[in-house]
Amino acid sequence: MSAAQLIVRGVSHAFARNEVLADIDFSVQAGQVVALVGPSGCGKTTLLNLCAGLLHVREGAIENGFAEAAYMFQQPRLLPWKTTLDNIALGLKAAGMARGERHYRARELALRLGLVHEDLDKFPHQLSGGMQSRVALARALVLQPDLLLLDEPFSALDIGLKAELYELLLAQLAERDMGVLMITHDLMEAVRLSDLILVMTAAPGRIVCRFELSRPAAQRDDAWVYRRTAELLQDATVRESFALPPLAVAAPLVNDEGDGELRRLDAPSSVLPFPRARAGCR
């Protein structure tokens, strides 16, 4: 179990002549939540698709040591002609599990994720957006994955629903030693859930700096999340990657803050050749 990890080494990717990813390096360990943050269009989804094996790796290497990976997309992407229960059990059916067994597992998990019995026989269009997201989460978790790939699955939900789904997700993470790779453009979401934040920038997509969060996710309260998010937003590299104007007064670097709960790791040297990255990361 502890040996399982996802290693991404020197991955670059291009669609036709359009370079979307350049020299990406990182790894996800079992039990670790890694967040990829960056502006829209910086190649996050491409990177996740590469990790999921939905795209072929052209350059570099991705080694996935996890036995079972599950993917949760930006939209719920439920099959409209299947009931909630059958949608949740899709991955189990694909793996060849018998009908009774997969329905049993799907039902049990669905109820734990806050769906009620009546919902299970409904079709997706009869469910609210929040319920559909729950179903999508259940569809991924029912596989008992040891690697969970999340593509901004909560971005369309209101903050109350988001908070609820974070709770559910964290509870599941606590139960199992699951590695999570999530992409988001919501810094607060990254600060709330992840152990390691990789900040990406666009054209071509690359990692410009990394932050480590040492406090366990379960112990992070709202105040802590707001403070760390604010700290993160004062970082010049982060501002630049999201095309925010630089701060008038130079803010103290994250590392100078003192308590070390949000710690900036050295930016990988590979980003240096790109002129935009140089300004921010030194």
Q: Looking at beta carbons only, is 145 or 280 nearer to another protein?
A: 145
Tokens standing for 232? 């993160």
Whole-angstrom Cα distance, residue 268 to residue 8? 13
| Residue 258 region by backbone torsions, left for phi larger than 0, else alpha for psi between -120 and 50, else beta | left
CB of 109 to another protein, least distance (A): 15
Q: Looking at beta carbons only, is 134 or 139 nearer to another protein?
A: 139
The stretch near another protein (CB under 8 A) out of 9-17, 87-95, 211-219, 238-246 is: 87-95
Is residue 239 within 8 Å of residue 246, measured between CB atoms? yes
CB of 245 to another protein, least distance (A): 36
Whole-angstrom Cα distance, residue 85 to residue 99? 11
CB of 71 to another protein, least distance (A): 4
Rounded to whole angstroms, the maximal C-alpha distance in the chain is 63
Q: Looking at beta carbons only, is 126 or 255 nearer to another protein?
A: 126
- Burial of 145: CB neighbours in 10 Å, binned 0-12, 13-18, 19+: buried
Number of residues that bind another protein (CB under 8 A): 22
CB of 122 to another protein, least distance (A): 10
98 contributes a contact to another protein by CB under 8 A:
no
Q: Where does the chain have alpha helices with state H?
A: 44-52, 84-88, 90-94, 99-112, 129-141, 159-175, 187-193, 222-234, 236-241, 275-281
Q: Looking at beta carbons only, is 20 or 191 nearer to another protein?
A: 20
Would you call the peptide bond into 204 cis, given omega within 30 degrees of 0 as the criterion?
yes
The stretch near another protein (CB under 8 A) out of 14-22, 75-83, 99-107, 177-185 is: 75-83
Whole-angstrom Cα distance, residue 232 to residue 282? 16
Q: How many CA atoms lie within 13 A of 236 on its CB side?
A: 17
128 contributes a contact to another protein by CB under 8 A:
no
Q: Looking at beta carbons only, is 91 or 205 nearer to another protein?
A: 91
95 contributes a contact to another protein by CB under 8 A:
yes
CB of 54 to another protein, least distance (A): 6
Closest alpha carbon to 23 in 53, 43, 3, 6 = 43
CB of 140 to another protein, least distance (A): 9
126 contributes a contact to another protein by CB under 8 A:
yes
Whole-angstrom Cα distance, residue 232 to residue 61? 30
In the list 81, 100, 117, 219, the residue contacting another protein (rule: CB under 8 A) is 81
Chain positions 51 to 70 lying near another protein, rule: CB under 8 A, are 52, 54, 70
Chain positions 130 to 149 lying near another protein, rule: CB under 8 A, are 139, 143
The mark string for 23-52 relative to another protein (x by CB under 8 A, - otherwise) is -----------------------------x
Would you tell me which residues interact with another protein (CB under 8 A)?
52, 54, 70-71, 73, 75, 77, 79-82, 90-91, 93-95, 123-126, 139, 143
